[in-house]
Amino acid sequence: MAKKVTETLSVDMVSANRLKFTPDGKFVFVSGLRKPELEIIDATTRKEVKRIKVGLGAAGILMQPDGKRAFVACSPDNYVTVIDLKSLEVVGQIDVGPEPDGLAWANRQ
């Protein structure tokens, strides 16, 4: 089976870097390396819902498995921004050290 592009999504984002769907599939988060905002797009309508100021630039995006929060690595700022997925608002930041990027979820056993 051949793989081919079926649709292209236009985002107004300088240096768009990563995208991540929310666990419920409702929204798509797009980060930009040189943009202080995270763009949130409605997955059904493919229209911008909101922009959230996260720092000087963003890289990796991680969704909490229970769908409550998103975490965005803000590489130039040396922190991770925490976003509430219900309100789509920044609810905190975690200082993590130099240039955070990829994020992963780990469960303790």
pLDDT at 25 over 80: yes
Q: Kindly report the pTM of this predicted structure.
A: 0.88
87 domain-assigned = yes
Give residue 11's pLDDT. Answer: 77
- Per residue in 85-97, pLDDT (tens digit) is 999 999 999 999 9
- Residue 70: both structure tokens together: 């998103």
For 72-80, which contacts have Cβ atoms below 8 Å and span 24 or more sequence positions?
72/29, 72/31, 72/38, 73/100, 73/101, 73/102, 73/103, 74/100, 75/33, 75/99, 75/100, 75/101, 79/55
73 domain-assigned = yes
101 domain-assigned = no
81 domain-assigned = yes
**Total domains, the chain:** 1
- Per residue in 29-85, pLDDT (tens digit) is 999 888 888 999 999 999 999 999 998 988 999 999 999 999 999 999 999 999 999
Give residue 96's pLDDT. Answer: 94
Domain range enclosing 78: 16-95
46: left (phi over 0), alpha (psi -120 to 50) or beta: left
What CATH number has the domain bearing residue 76?
2.40.10.480
